[in-house]
Structure 1
Amino acid sequence: MWRWMVVGAWLLLAGCASTHDTMVQQGYPPAFADGFQDGCGSGRQAAGSITGQFTKNVPRYLKDKQYSTGWDDGFRQCQASVQNHNNDDWATQHGDDRERAWQQQKTQGEGRAYHP
């Protein structure tokens, strides 16, 4: 359930304004929002998403505390979001395999019980 809320929030952010613009409107410093946007794309890319691109303004990261904090936050949050999505997909796929194996085992057991 919470996953759909996160996806909905991202769609709202992406639908009307960029993440950067939305964060600035919510009162975040522009440097933090710049870093968050760069870090988020980098985190998605690091987690294996095709929608992310690694972006890091290294000189700014080293000199601007707000940019570096935003970059770190964006990286961690977006990387975790993609990894959670990937883990859910894996669990669904392998859960289905286990369900099929259990159903097959149950059917075979019934067959042996009815036809000794």
Structure 2
Amino acid sequence: MKRYGCVLALMAALAGCQTAHDQMVQQGYPPAFADGYHDGCSSGRAAAASFSGNYSKDVNRYMGDKLYSGGWDDGFRQCQAQAVSRDQQEVHDRVLNDRDRDWETQKTRMTYRAYHGD
């Protein structure tokens, strides 16, 4: 029984290690689409971060394989949008943290003045 539990745990851990490509193929996407999505996604993240030269595109395949090009376009758009959204959220959170810190400082000063008559 203990061995059976270990095997199940190992299988669950290995299933969690699937790549996005493997997951897409398992969900029924054609391998060419999944290949394009993978390349487009990494390129979309690079574009959002303004990296130059980190794009991944098999141009010949993109021009001749509609599944690859469709996957590449979808991957690029989705991953670029996710990266931009994540960056905007981080900036928003930083601004809120700065405002919270400033408010706490102001409250401390006002409390000090109230107790010390300054």
Identical columns (%): 55
- Whether 1:20 and 2:21 are equivalent positions in the alignment is yes
TM-score (normalizing by structure 2):
0.72
- Higher mean alpha-carbon deviation, 76-85 vs 92-101, is at 76-85
Shift of 1:19: 1.6
Inter-partner Cα distance in structure 2 for 1:109 and 1:16: 54
Distance 1:79 1:30, change over 3 A: same
Unaligned runs of 5+ in 2: 1-12
Within 5 Å, give how 1:11-90 maps onto structure 2.
15-48=16-49, 53-90=54-91
Amino acid aligned to 2:100? E
Amino acid aligned to 1:43? G
**Cα offsets for 1:1-60 (capped at 9, x unmatched):** xxxxxxxxxxx9x9422222221111111111110010011111112288xx41011122
Q: Which residue of 1 aligns with 2:10?
A: none
Inter-partner Cα distance in structure 1 for 2:16 and 2:45: 19
- Secondary structure, counterpart of 2:49 in structure 1: coil
TM-score (normalizing by structure 1):
0.73
Inter-partner Cα distance in structure 1 for 2:19 and 2:58: 19
Given that 1:39 and 1:74 are in contact with CA atoms closer than 8 Å, whether structure 2 keeps it comes out as yes
Aligned length: 102
